[in-house]
C-alpha cells in the first residue's frame, strides 16, 4: 500500500493494500457489533429459571484444583433463599436471601447475608447462562463460574 501511494504507476498495489488492510478491520467491527447485538437478543433468565443447584464450570486466573469442582454447590431456592458450601476465594455466608436486578450491568444477582450484600454477574450464553463470582478486582480476570446442573 505504501509503495502504491509513493509511486503513481503502482495503482494496483494501492488497491491491494487497501483491501488487505480494510478487510480485517471491517471484519472486527462487524464481529464486535454482532456480539453486542446478540447480548440484547439472548434472553435474561427470570427468577424461576435461576432456581436450582449449580456447579463450578470454570475458574479463571486462580489456583483451584479441578478435581474438587463438584464439591462446591450453590443452591438457589424458589422462596428467594440460597445456600452455598464454603468455596475458596468466595466470601459469602453459607445461607441467606438472593435477589435479581437487571438494571445494573455486571451486578444482576445479589446475595444478602444479614446486612451485607455480595453481587454477582449473570453471563448469558447461547445455550443458557452461568453465574460469575468475580474475585477481588473485576479487572484482574479472577472469576469462578457456576452453571446450573441439568
What average pLDDT score do residues 86-105 get? Answer: 90
Read out DSSP for the chain? -HHHHH-TT-HHHHHHHHHHHHHHHHHHHHHHHHHHHHHHHSPPP-HHHH-EEEEEEEEESS---GGGGGG--EEE-TTSEEEE---TT----SEEEEEE-TTSTT--EEEEETTEEEEEEEEEETTEEEEEEE-S-GGGT-EEEEEE--
pTM greater than 0.75 (yes/no): no
75-104: average pLDDT: 92
- Taking only the tens place, the pLDDT of each residue in 29-63 is 888 777 666 666 777 888 899 999 999 999 999 99
Highest CATH level, class, for 47-148: mainly beta
Beta bridge partners of 109: 100, 120
17 by Cβ neighbours in 10 Å (0-12 / 13-18 / 19+) ranks as middle
Residues 6+ apart with CB under 8 A from 24: none
Residue 117, classified by CB atoms within 10 Å of its CB into exposed (0-12), middle (13-18) or buried (19+), is middle
What's the pLDDT at 19?
A: 78
Residues 6+ apart with CB under 8 A from 34: none
- Cβ–Cβ < 8 Å for 24, 39: no
Amino acid at each position: 500500500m505504501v509503495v502504491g501511494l509513493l509511486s503513481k504507476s503502482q495503482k494496483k498495489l494501492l488497491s491491494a493494500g487497501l483491501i488487505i488492510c480494510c478487510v480485517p478491520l471491517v471484519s472486527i467491527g462487524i464481529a464486535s457489533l454482532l456480539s453486542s447485538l446478540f447480548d440484547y437478543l439472548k434472553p435474561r433468565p427470570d427468577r424461576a429459571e435461576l432456581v436450582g443447584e449449580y456447579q463450578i464450570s470454570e475458574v479463571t486466573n486462580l489456583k483451584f484444583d479441578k478435581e474438587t469442582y463438584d464439591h462446591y454447590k450453590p443452591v438457589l431456592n424458589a422462596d428467594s433463599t440460597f445456600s452455598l458450601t464454603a468455596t475458596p476465594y468466595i466470601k459469602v455466608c453459607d445461607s441467606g436471601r438472593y435477589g435479581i436486578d437487571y438494571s445494573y450491568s455486571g451486578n444482576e444477582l445479589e446475595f444478602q447475608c444479614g446486612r451485607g450484600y455480595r453481587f454477582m454477574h449473570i453471563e448469558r450464553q447461547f445455550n443458557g447462562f452461568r453465574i460469575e463470582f468475580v474475585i477481588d478486582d473485576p479487572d484482574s480476570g479472577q472469576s469462578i463460574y457456576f452453571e446450573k446442573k441439568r
